[in-house]
Amino acid sequence: MKKLLALMLSAVSLFAQNTYIEKMMGTVPNSATSITTRTTYVQLLICSASSTTTLTVTDTAGNIYFNAIAMTANQTTLVYTAGGNQGNTGIKMVGIKWSAGNTNALVCQLQGVQP
């Protein structure tokens, strides 16, 4: 019983080390702006455009994950979903930066886990 309890506590402490992040619907600026500098497993990215624009998402090393994705005016677009939010699933990025093609044209929500 003691071993089982110790194993359960160990599993809980490992799970507790992950931090769930969410960048609520916020306006994406038209210059590359950092959301986080920590390693993050992106699990969801959804955007709404008020006018036709583009979305670019990179990491802090400059690797491009979404390059000038076209966003249609007055539509909401599911850019990416990992299909679940359990543990370290999704796109692993070391830091996240995003930018829109036009000022005040794009509002996005990003969710992920930071191990």
The pLDDT of residue 9 is 32
Whether residue 105 lies inside any domain: the answer is yes
What's the whole-model pTM score? Answer: 0.79
Confirm whether 9 is domain-assigned: no
Token look-up 């160990």 returns: 10
Pairing of strands 53-58, 91-100: antiparallel
Greater confidence (24 vs 96) lies with: 96
CATH of the domain at 53: 2.60.120
Q: Are 53 and 4 in contact (CB under 8 A)?
A: no
- Spatial CB neighbours of 64, under 8 Å, sequence gap ≥ 6: 56, 57, 58
**18: confidence class by pLDDT, cuts 50, 70, 90:** low
Residue 55's CB is within 10 A of a number of other CB atoms, namely: 23
Question: What pLDDT, on the 0 to 100 scale, is given for residue 105?
Answer: 95
Q: Dump pLDDT digits (tens) for 27-78.
A: 999 999 998 899 999 999 999 999 999 999 999 999 999 999 999 999 999 9
**10 located within any domain:** no
Q: How far apart are CA 77 and CA 10, in angstroms?
A: 40
Question: Where in the sequence is the domain holding 23, given as residue range(s)?
Answer: 18-114
